[in-house]
Amino acid sequence: MLSLFPFHQQFFRPNSLQTHPHFNLNNPVWWRRQNSVGVVRCNRNGVEESKSYYELLGLCVDASPQEIKDAYRKLQKKYHPDIAGEKGHESTLMLNKAYKVLMKDDLRKQYDASIGKISDNLRGGSIWEGSLRPQALFVDENACIGCRECVHHAGNTFMMDEIFGTARVKVQYGDDEERIEISVDSCPVNCIHWVDTEELEVLEYLIQPQAKVGYGIYGQGWERPANVFMAAKSFNKQLKQQEENQQRCTKSTDEEETPAQAQARESAYRELKVGRFARLWSWMKRSTSQ
Amino acid sequence: MAEPAYLVASDSETTGEEKSSSPFPDIAIGIDIGTSQCSVAVWSGSQVELVRNTRNQKLMRSYVTFKDEIPAGGVSNQLAHEYEMLSGAAIFNMKRLIGRVDTDPVVHASKSLPFLVQTLNIGVRPFIAALVKNMWRSTTPEEVLAIFLVELRAMAEVQLKRPVRNVVLTIPVSFSRFQITRIERACAIAGLQVLRLMPEPTAVALLYAQQQQQNVHENMGSGSEKIALIFNMGAGFCDVAVTATAGGVSQIKALAGTALGGEDILLNMMRHLLPDMDSHFSTRGIDEIRRMGLLRVATQDAIHKLSSQFNVQIDVDLGNGRKISKALGREEFEDVNREVFEKCESLIKQCLHDAKVEVEDISDVILVGGCSNIPKLRNIITGFCKREIYNGINPLEAAVRGAALEGAVASGVNDPFGSLDLLTIQATPLSIGVRADGNSFVPIIHQNTTMPVRRDVIFTTVHDNQAEALIIVYEGDEKAVEKNHLLGYFKITGIPPAPKGVPEINVCMDIDASNVLRVFAGVIMPGVQNPAAPVMEVRMPTVDDGHGWCAEALNRTYGSTLDLVTVQKKGAH
C-alpha cells in the first residue's frame, strides 16, 4: 500500500521531488539513465507520466471495471513489448500500475481521493474563480479548430487539451473581463459561448469524448454529440421526464409493475439523480475552496 | 488435424519456393521440449503448423544416445526398440535434471533411471553419465539438451528452407530463474536465440485466446471475457494457470506448478510391482540395467492400458529367476498414486484461490499434456470444476502451437485476417525478494504480478555507521529465506556514516517482457537529493553451479554485520 503512494505524488507533484529525495529512486527514467540531474526534466517531458491513470487509459473518472478492463486490453495490444518492442516497456509498466490501482476498490478510492486534491486539470469540468455568476463560458470542442488564440489572450481561463487538440475552459473568470472579451472575440470559428450557469454542468459533461467501442483494432476512437447544445436540451428533457414519471408513479398505484421492476426503476432514477448531485456538489466544493 | 503436405521433405518445389520467399524470414519458431516428447511449430503465414522430421513424426522422443562416436538425439535417431533407450547409453528426462543440485528430491528420484545419476548430497550439480562400451562417459543436462536442440534446429532449417535463429521455448511453471539460465545456456550452445520463455500453460492460454477470437469473428458473438482453467501434466511437471481472455488478449491471473508428472506415477508403480527395486538396482551392472528396462517398459504399457481398460495383466521375466506376474486393476493404480492425484487437486485449488476466481466463474477447463488421458485425473478435474473438459485443443500439441503463435506475435508478424491479433499478458510464477529483517524473506515483486513490472522497497541499516550492506536476492514463496532459490548477491558500499535507521537503501526490481530481471540498489541520505554512491544495476541470476554453498558461506563470513531491515512495511500486495 505505502509504496504506491509516493507514486501518485511523483506524478502529480513533480516539484515535490526536491523535498522527498527517495522519490527520485522511483523515477523509472532515473534508473535507466542514472542521472539525477535529469529527474525533473524527464518527468515533465514524459507526456504519459504527467497524466492521471484515467487519462492514461483514456477513461472518465467514473468508468466501470469493465470499461477499465477493455481500455487496458486495447492499450496493451498497442504498447506491450511483444508488439511494440523494447520501447513499450515503460508504457506497459505504467498501464500495469494504473490497472492494478483502478481494479482494486480500496486502492481506487485512495487514488481518487489523492487526485481530487492535487490534480486540477482532470477532465470533469471547469472550476470557478470567485463566486458563481449567472453566465459561464463554454467551448464547443466540436467546432474548435485548436488555434490557441483564446489560450493566448486569457491563459488563466482557457487551456489546451493536448490529447484532442482543442481548447476548453479551465477556470471560469480566471482572467479579467477585458481579456476574456478579447479572447472570445478572437476565436475565428466563434466556438466560445456564454451559457447559463445551470446548463454548464450538463454541457461540460456531454462534451467529454466517450470511448467508442471498436471492432478488433478498427473503428475505435472517441465520439461526442455532434451538436452539444441540442444534446443538452434532450438530456435535460429526459431528466425532467423521468422526474415526472417518478412523481406520477409514486402518486399512482404500483399495481402495473412488479415490486422488482419498481425497485429497479427507482434505483436507476436515484443513480441518475445522485450522479448529478455529486457532480454539482464537487463543483461547488471546488469553487468555494478557491 | 490434417497437416498440409508441404511439411514432407519430398513435396513439390513450388511450395518450397513460397516458404523461402516468406515475408517474415526471421519469424521465431516455437519449441516444446517435454520431459518425454518434444515438438516444433511455426507460423506458416496463415496458421500454425507442426514441423515434421524425416520420418514424418510431429512428436519426437526427448533423448540423446551416446552409443556411437557422435551422440544422436531422438530427432534423427530411430530406436530399434524401446529397450535401446533404456540401455544406459541414452540420457533422457534432462528437463527434470537441468539446473538442480544433488540434494534435490527430484534428482534423487532420477537415480532409478538407467543412466548414472550420482549424488554427493552437498548442494552441487549431480554427476551424470551414459554407459558407452561398458564405460560411464560423463555429460551434463545442458550438454544433452544442446545436442538435442541442434538436431531440432537442423530439422527445422531443412523443412523451412531458411536459417532458424529465434525461438520461443515453453518451460514448466515451477522452473526457477537459475534453471531458466541453464535452458538459455543450452540454447546458446545450439546457436539459438531465446526470444521468449513461456510457462507451458500460458502458451496453451494463447492458443485458447486465438480460438475464442476466431469464434467471435465467425459467429459475430459477443467478445465477453472468458475465464479458463488450464491444467497441464506431462511426464515431468504439473502446471496450472488461470487466464482471463477477451478480444484476443490472454491475461494470466495466476500460475501454480510443481515437479510432478508421469515419471512419478511410473516410479510409484514400479516400486509397487517390485518393492525392493532400489536394492535390486544399486550396483547398476549391465544385467541390472537391462532388467530395470524390462520392468519400466512393462509398467509403462500397463499404465497406458489402464487409461482405456479397467484391468491389465502384467507378465515380465526379469531373469535371474525373478518373475513378476500380476493382475492390476484401475482402482489399485489410483490407490498407489493417491498422493499424486491429491497434489494435483490442491494445485488447482491454490491456483484458483490465487487468481481470486470461483469455480462458477470458469468458462472452460482445458486439460493438456501426456497425463491428460488418465481417467482419474479427468474425474478429479471435471468433478472439481463441475464442467466438461474443453475439447477444442489437441492435448499434445497445444503448448507448442501456443509457443509458435507467441513467436509470430513477438517477431512482429501481422496477419491480414486478424489471426495474430493476440497478446499474452504474463504474470510472475514466483515471488522475488531479498533477505532482510534478520533471516526473513522480504518479497519485492510478489507472485502472480503482471509483467512487465517494476517495484521497490526501502530498507535501512541495522548498525550505527554501517558503511556497507549486502543485498541477497531470492526467488520463491517460502517464509524461511534459505528454502527459496538463491539468485545472487552484491554489496552496496559507501553508505555515509550515520546512526542506524537513517540511510535509505532503495532496492528496486524490474522484470521486462522477456523475463529479464534487473535489481537496482541505491543509497539516499535524508535531505540529500542525489544518491550517496553510484547506483548498482545487477542482472540476475548471477549465481553459478554449486550455489547451494553461497548463502551459507556469506552467512559464515559476514554474520549480521551487513544486514538490512525494511522501512516501509512490504509494498503493495
pLDDT tens per residue, range B256-291: 999 999 999 999 999 999 888 888 777 778 888 888
- A73–B247 CB contact, under 8 Å: yes
- A206 & A275 share domain: yes
Residue B492 belongs to a domain = yes
- The Cα B165–Cα B207 span in angstroms is 23
Cβ neighbours of A86 in B, within 8 Å? 512
Question: What residues are paired with B327 via a beta bridge?
Answer: B313
- A79 & A130 share domain: no
Q: What is the CATH number of the domain that holds B508?
A: 2.60.34.10
> What is the extent of the structural domain holding A106?
4-118
Listed range (A44-48, B128-132, B482-486) with the worst mean pLDDT: A44-48
pLDDT tens column, A35-75: 333 232 233 333 344 578 888 888 888 888 888 988 898 88
| DSSP code of residue A169 | E
**Alpha carbon separation from B441 to B354, B437, B471, B554 (Å, rounded):** 20, 8, 12, 16
* Å between A70 CA and nearest CA of chain B: 8
Cβ neighbours of B514 in A, within 8 Å? 81
B452 closest CB neighbour out of A36, A93, A100: A93
The confidence score (pLDDT) of residue A131 equals 74
Average pLDDT over residues B402-423: 89
- A31–B535 CB contact, under 8 Å: yes
pLDDT surpasses 70 at A262: no
Residue for grid cell 541495522 = B462
The confidence score (pLDDT) of residue A1 equals 32
Query: Could you give phi then psi for residue B538, rounded to 5 degrees?
Result: -125, 125
Give me the interface pTM, i.e. the ipTM.
0.82
- The Cα A280–Cα A285 span in angstroms is 9
Give the distance from CA B532 to its chain's centroid. Answer: 41
The confidence score (pLDDT) of residue B553 equals 83
- A114 & A132 share domain: no
Residue B522 belongs to a domain = yes
Residue B530 belongs to a domain = yes
Cell of B221: 458473438
- A92 & A160 share domain: no
What's the sign of the alpha-carbon dihedral B125, B126, B127, B130? Answer: negative
Domain boundary among A97, A118, A139: A118
- Among B192, B203, B67, residue whose Cα is nearest residue B137: B67
**Is residue A191 within 8 Å of A151, Cβ to Cβ?**
no
- A58 & A160 share domain: no
- A114 & A174 share domain: no
Average pLDDT over residues A109-138: 70
Residue B528 belongs to a domain = yes
- The Cα A241–Cα A243 span in angstroms is 5
H helices of A13-50, in order, are 28-33, 39-45
- A60 & A170 share domain: no
Other beta carbons less than 10 A from residue B407's beta carbon? 26
Average pLDDT, chain A: 68
- A177 & A51 share domain: no
Residue B20 belongs to a domain = no
A:B CB pairs within 8 Å: 111
> What is the extent of the structural domain holding B546?
432-566
**Domain count of the fold of chain A:** 2
Residue B260 belongs to a domain = no
B512 touches chain A (CB under 8 A): yes
Cβ neighbours of B412 in A, within 8 Å? 83, 85
**Domain count of the fold of chain B:** 1
- A59 & A109 share domain: yes
Domain boundary among A77, A102, A118: A118
Q: What is the CATH number of the domain that holds A66?
A: 1.10.287.110
Give the distance from CA B537 to its chain's centroid. Answer: 27
- A8 & A112 share domain: yes
- A245 & A287 share domain: yes
**Is residue B505 within 8 Å of B460, Cβ to Cβ?**
yes
Residue B526 belongs to a domain = yes
- CB proximity under 8 Å: B 50-109 to A: none
Residue B402 belongs to a domain = no
pLDDT tens column, B40-77: 999 988 899 999 988 888 999 999 999 877 888 888 87
Interface test with B, best of A8, A80, A101, A215 (most B CBs within 10 A): A80
pLDDT surpasses 70 at A281: no
Q: What is the CATH number of the domain that holds A176?
A: 3.30.70.20
- A232 & A271 share domain: yes
- The Cα B217–Cα A215 span in angstroms is 10
- Among B95, B97, B72, B89, residue whose Cα is nearest residue B148: B72
Please tell me the pTM assigned to this model. 0.72
